[in-house]
Every structure is written in structure tokens, then in C-alpha cells.
């Protein structure tokens, strides 16, 4: 096997003659560093020297060889470690190997040929690992370049969509099961790109947050929801729910834009409900209260979305003008693993604060019965309807509530078929 003149090896032993012998046998092939204790060797490694192989005696004053080699990983994690040990240290050496700290251990006295062979194997292993790490790093760099997803292209496409009204809205009904009627709809932004295909909100909303475009995105959604959603909900005293981000709320343009949307769309302010996530309440509560109070003075209602998942304090319920809490769907899904307790608590809190409660994520008849048994009546979820384009909402409403002119009765199968929920 060929030698590598610049390969650096650190030899640690408390006996000077042993170190001298190692230098004699190895110095012609490798660059040799020496230390007479584990502590002294660690001081050398702290200097940032690249060391390929470390050879250490087991029994030394202060740190044992195994202890030193273990601590050396903090400075040279990729170095290969060889432990020289007498038979009395065999158990300790085996334990060190089993813990993954040692590449190989050799019994003393060790013939020079055996030691050289072990070092060559260690050097080859180090080189192999280095090549693997380099290949992995290149793959990660290539993936990052591809990600830097695609991101630039998506961001440019998103900005174009915001300028040219490229986003559209889907609507998911909120049902009052006690009254057998639809209370309203939640507006959900969707993006269908000609090249990228369908891009979900889990992708484009964080992208807008990171790039600073979330305010513009929120404005586009609010404007469209007031116009389009308002037309859908004109009959039946229903409301339109729109999600807003903390950044959007805190932006100086929020209240003027909200007033403009209401004025131009003709949507009654009392028919609009703004939903902010519970985690958004972790912002400046005093500033947020001022904005929400001015919003509430317009007769726009305020809802807290994802209740129970984000904010650690419930003090905001008494300090902010909140009308509705929406219990996150995870608690319905995990009903028998703590979810029932959370939903029960949310209903009790809502009664104390005179709030409405909407239960999200109801997907089956069994889930519906469970939350109804707890006293919930406002329900949102796939059991009633998936989010659907505006063109299908009126058909769904007629199917769910019946046609007043014909007093027809429509089955739940038909309702689910219209929304695309029926499986």
C-alpha cells in the first residue's frame, strides 16, 4: 500500500522510549506528533490540527487511553483511533470498541509490522470515509442548489400570481347541526400554476411569510373573499371567514384595506369573520388589541383558529375582543387520547367567556356524534363538505338545506357527492 507523507498521526504514551520507538518506525511514512498524557494530547488537538490517526496507550496517569480517545472526538471526530493495551486492560478495551470509540486495539508489546499494518488500514478507512462524506456533501449541495426551491422560481411565480390575480379561493361550509343550517363558509386560498401544477398553502404561505409577501397575499385573499364569498353568502344571514396573518394585522395598511374591501364589495361587516391562528397571539398583545378593537368596532367578528395548539396563555381571551374559538382538528382525530378533554375544556371556557365554538376536522359520522355528545353544535369538516370552488357552493347549499320551492329532501350521500367528499 502506498504511503502518504502528509498524513498526520498523533501518538500518546507516558513512556518516552515508547514514543521514540513509534517515531523511528513511523516517521519515514507519516508526520508524527507526540504527547506524554491524554491532557497534553487534547491541548494539541484544540489547536485545530488535522489528525488522521491517533495511537494511544491505555494505562496512563490522569486520563486513561479510552477516556482520552473518547474526548478527542470533540476535536477530530473523523480521526481513526488505535488503542495499545496490555492483557489486564482487555475488558476495558473491548468495552471501548463496543461503544464505537475505537477503530482497533492492539496488545502490547506490539510488533512494528502489526502496528504499521493497523495504521495503514486506519488511514485507508479515513480516506474512504472522507470520500463518502465528500460525495454526500456534494449531493446535499446539489440538492440545495435545486431547492434554491425552485424556491426562487416559485417566489417569482407567486409574485406574478398576486399581481395578475392568479390565486383562487375554495370554500368549506361551517354547519350549525342543532339548527340544521349552514352558518357560513371559510375561504381557503389555492394556487394552480401552469408549470408547477397545484401548489398547496403549506408551500406558498411560508414562502410568502419568508419573502415578506404575506401582506400582499392576505390583501388579495381578503378582497376576493369579500367580493366572491359575499355573493355566495348574501342569502340566509351567513358569514364569510377569512384567515389573516399576524404580519397582515400589524401592517399599517390593514384597517384601511379592510374598510375598502367592505365598501367596494357591499358585504355587511357583520357577515365577515377574520380568523387568526393562536400562535399569532404570541406577538405584541397590546398592539394587537388596538388593531382588533378597531376591527371589532366595524362589526367584523374575530375568531381564534387552531385553538389549543399554539399559545401557552389563555389571558388573551379576556384581553382581546374575541367572538369565536375554533378547536383544532387534531383533538377530534385524537379524541380518545386526550382530545376529548381538550374539547370539553374549550366548550367550558367558551361558555364562561360567552364565545362560540367551532369544531374543525369532523370527517365521519362517529366523530360528529362524539362532539355533539359533548355539546358542540358548530361543525366544520369533510363529513359535510370538502373545500370546493365557488361554482359548486350554491349547489351544495341547496342540496344540504333543501330547495325551499320544492321542499325536497336530499340525502347526505348527495351532499357529499357535490362537495367531492363522498368516498
Q: Return the H-helix or E-strand segment holding 127.
A: helix 112-147
Whether 280 contacts 248, CB under 8 Å: no
Q: What is the mean pLDDT of the chain?
A: 84
Q: Which residues contact 344 (CB under 8 A, 6 or more apart)?
A: 374
- Residue 3: the pLDDT is 43
The single-letter DSSP state of residue 84 is E
- Residue 420: the pLDDT is 61
Cell numbers at residue 259, please?
A: 374598510
- Residue 89: the pLDDT is 57
The domain 8-146 having CATH identifier 3.40.50.2300: the answer here is yes
SS3 state of residue 312? coil
Whether 375 contacts 405, CB under 8 Å: no
- Residue 379: the pLDDT is 96
Q: Cite the DSSP H helix spans in 27-84.
A: 38-45, 65-72
- Residue 99: the pLDDT is 52
**Residue carrying the nine cell digits 365521519:** 364
C-alpha distances in Å from residue 233, one per residue of 112, 134, 167, 272, 393: 89, 59, 20, 10, 10
CA 57 to mean position of chain CA atoms:
47
Report CA dihedral (113, 118, 121, 122) to the nearest 10 degrees: -140
- Residue 233: the pLDDT is 67
Q: Give bridge partners of residue 104 from the DSSP assignment.
A: 82
Residues of the chain with CATH 3.20.20.450: 151-419
Total number of residues shown for the chain: 423
C-alpha distances in Å from residue 7, one per residue of 51, 119, 273, 402: 8, 11, 69, 83
Cell numbers at residue 232, please?
A: 355566495
C-alpha distances in Å from residue 325, one per residue of 287, 310, 311, 345: 20, 13, 13, 12
Q: Give bridge partners of residue 330 from the DSSP assignment.
A: none
pLDDT in tens, 48-71: 888 999 999 888 888 888 888 888
How far, in Å, CA of 150 to CA of 324, rounded? 39
How far, in Å, CA of 134 to CA of 301, rounded? 56
CATH class as words, domain 151-419 = alpha beta
Residue 378 dihedral angles phi and psi, to the nearest 5°: -95, 115
Residues of the chain with CATH 3.40.50.2300: 8-146
Using a 10 angstrom Cβ sphere, with 0-12 exposed, 13-18 middle and 19 or more buried, the burial of residue 85 is buried
Q: Give bridge partners of residue 173 from the DSSP assignment.
A: 185
Which residues in the chain land under pLDDT 70? 1-5, 86-101, 140-147, 233-237, 310-313, 403-423
pLDDT in tens, 169-179: 999 999 999 98
- Candidates 225, 305, 304; CA nearest to 271 is 225
The DSSP secondary structure of 176-228, one letter per residue, reads: ETTTTEEEEEEEEEEEEETTTEEE-HHHHHHHHHHHT-HHHHHHHHHHHIIII
SS3 state of residue 277? strand
Amino acid at each position: 500500500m502506498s504511503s502518504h507523507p502528509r498524513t498526520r498521526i498523533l501518538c500518546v504514551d507516558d513512556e518516552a522510549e515508547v514514543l521514540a520507538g513509534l517515531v523511528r518506525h513511523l516517521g519515514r511514512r507519516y508526520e508524527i506528533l507526540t504527547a506524554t498524557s491524554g491532557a497534553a494530547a487534547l491541548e494539541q488537538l484544540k489547536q485545530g490540527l488535522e489528525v488522521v490517526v491517533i495511537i494511544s496507550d491505555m494505562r496512563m496517569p490522569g486520563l486513561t487511553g479510552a477516556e482520552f480517545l473518547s474526548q478527542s472526538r470533540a476535536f477530530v471526530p473523523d480521526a481513526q483511533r488505535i488503542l495499545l493495551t496490555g492483557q489486564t486492560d482487555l475488558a476495558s478495551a473491548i468495552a471501548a470498541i463496543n461503544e464505537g470509540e475505537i477503530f482497533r486495539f492492539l496488545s502490547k508489546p506490539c510488533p512494528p509490522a502489526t502496528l504499521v499494518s493497523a495504521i495503514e488500514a486506519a488511514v485507508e478507512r479515513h480516506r474512504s470515509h472522507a470520500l463518502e462524506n465528500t460525495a454526500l456533501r456534494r449531493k446535499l449541495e446539489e440538492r440545495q442548489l435545486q431547492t434554491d426551491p425552485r424556491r426562487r422560481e416559485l417566489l417569482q411565480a407567486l409574485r406574478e400570481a398576486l399581481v395578475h390575480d392568479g390565486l383562487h379561493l375554495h370554500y368549506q361550509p361551517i354547519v350549525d347541526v342543532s339548527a340544521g343550517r349552514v352558518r357560513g363558509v371559510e375561504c381557503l386560498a389555492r394556487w394552480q400554476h401552469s408549470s408547477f401544477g397545484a401548489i398547496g398553502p403549506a408551500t406558498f404561505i411560508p414562502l410568502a411569510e419568508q419573502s415578506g409577501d404575506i401582506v400582499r397575499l392576505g390583501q388579495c385573499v381578503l378582497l376576493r373573499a369579500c367580493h366572491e364569498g359575499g355573493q355566495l353568502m348574501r342569502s340566509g344571514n351567513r358569514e364569510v371567514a377569512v384567515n389573516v396573518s399576524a404580519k397582515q394585522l400589524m401592517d399599517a395598511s390593514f384597517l384601511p384595506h379592510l374598510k375598502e374591501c367592505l365598501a367596494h364589495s357591499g358585504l355587511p361587516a357583520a357577515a365577515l369573520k377574520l380568523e387568526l391562528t393562536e400562535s399569532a397571539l404570541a406577538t405584541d398583545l397590546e398592539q394587537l388589541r388596538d388593531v382588533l378593537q378597531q376591527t371589532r368596532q366595524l362589526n367584523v367578528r374575530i375568531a381564534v383558529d387552531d385553538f389549543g395548539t399554539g399559545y401557552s396563555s389563555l389571558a388573551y381571551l379576556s384581553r382581546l375582543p374575541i367572538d369565536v374559538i375554533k378547536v383544532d382538528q387534531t383533538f377530534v382525530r385524537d379524541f380518545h387520547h386526550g382530545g376529548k378533554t381538550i374539547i370539553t375544556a374549550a366548550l367550558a371556557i367558551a361558555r364562561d367567556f360567552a364565545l362560540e365554538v367551532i369544531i374543525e376536522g369532523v370527517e365521519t359520522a362517529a366523530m360528529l356524534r362524539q362532539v355533539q355528545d359533548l355539546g358542540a353544535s358548530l361543525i366544520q369538516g369533510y363529513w359535510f363538505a370538502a373545500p370546493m370552488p365557488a361554482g359548486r357552493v350554491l349547489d351544495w347549499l341547496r342540496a344540504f338545506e333543501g330547495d325551499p320551492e320544492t321542499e325536497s329532501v336530499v340525502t347526505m350521500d348527495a351532499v357529499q357527492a357535490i362537495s367531492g367528499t363522498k368516498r
